[in-house]
Amino acid sequence: MDLNWVEVGDPDSDQVVVFLHEGLGCVEMWKDYPEKLCNQNNLKGVIYDRSGYGKSPGSLLNRDKNYLHQAAEELEYLLNHLTINNPILYGHSDGGSIALIHAGQNPGKAKMVITEAAHVFNEAETIQGVKEARPWLKEGKMEGLKKYHGNRYKEVFYAWNDIWLDPSFKNWDITNLLTNIKVPVLVIQGKNDNYGTLKQVNAIVSGVEGAVETLTPDNCGHAPFKEQTAIVMSKASAFIDENK
């Protein structure tokens, strides 16, 4: 498995933050946020493209309801391949769900978990938000994805859109894994996220066994690290510092 990954921050740090991108994302779509967060906290950061995204080879065709669990297995492969021990898992959207799945299936392996706009179950608001986005590709509103995913950008879009609307995914739920998570967790969710509600935050808070903190910024949608950068970075930095 030949995944594209880049390293940022302090190369000599023995504490590594692994950044997991969203369902339409890739390394480059994190912009400079990972580097700034790592530099501010003297940490090493690893950002990678999951299979089929960005510069990583692979296909997203025929995705099934287990795709996030499969991505968690891929994350485990990456951690072993790069010999990353006790990582800080920082996931956005799908990446946040993957971080929680990995932490739930591998208790104690991560040092802490930070999620932004993570889902732990499929809810009506998520389905509605994804449904409303369905015409965007045909309307030319997603052409910007071509810059990051090349000619696969349509495949990336429909892989994300199709699965969340698939009847087999309607009852997707990972809350049963949360009780295995005993490490500190920071849950971040914008109050104006059109792909999920604060029910996701509440489920994580009540489900995990470890210490948990939350940040639910106002005037913020699905990408807190982009929309409320200063607030999110400050909270994430303080959380990391408290739990080193």
Residue at 19 is within a domain: yes
User: Which pLDDT score, from 0 to 100, does residue 18 have?
Assistant: 98
- The pLDDT tens digits of the residues spanning 199-213 come to 999 999 999 999 999
CATH number at residue 221: 3.40.50.1820
Predicted TM-score (pTM) of this structure? 0.98
Give CA–CA dist 213/23, Å, rounded: 24
User: Which pLDDT score, from 0 to 100, does residue 126 have?
Assistant: 96
* Residue 124 CB coordination number (10 Å): 9
Q: Tell me the average pLDDT across 89-103.
A: 98
Residue at 93 is within a domain: yes
Q: Tell me the average pLDDT across 146-158.
A: 96
User: Which pLDDT score, from 0 to 100, does residue 1 have?
Assistant: 62
For tokens 């732990």, the residue is: 120
Residue at 200 is within a domain: yes
In which band, very low, low, confident or very high, does the pLDDT at 88 lie, cut at 50, 70 and 90? Answer: very high
Residue at 14 is within a domain: yes
The total number of structural domains in the chain stands at 1
Give CA–CA dist 36/141, Å, rounded: 29
Q: Give the three-class secondary structure for 206.
A: helix
Residue at 182 is within a domain: yes
Give CA–CA dist 131/32, Å, rounded: 30
Q: Tell me the average pLDDT across 43-47.
A: 98
- The pLDDT tens digits of the residues spanning 23-42 come to 999 999 999 999 999 999 99
Residue at 153 is within a domain: no
Residue at 148 is within a domain: no
Write the CB contacts of 186 (distance below 8 Å, at least 6 apart in sequence): 112, 113, 114, 115, 212, 213, 214, 215, 235, 236, 239
Residue 77 predicted with pLDDT over 70: yes
The parent domain of residue 177 ranges over 5-121+173-242
Residue at 159 is within a domain: no
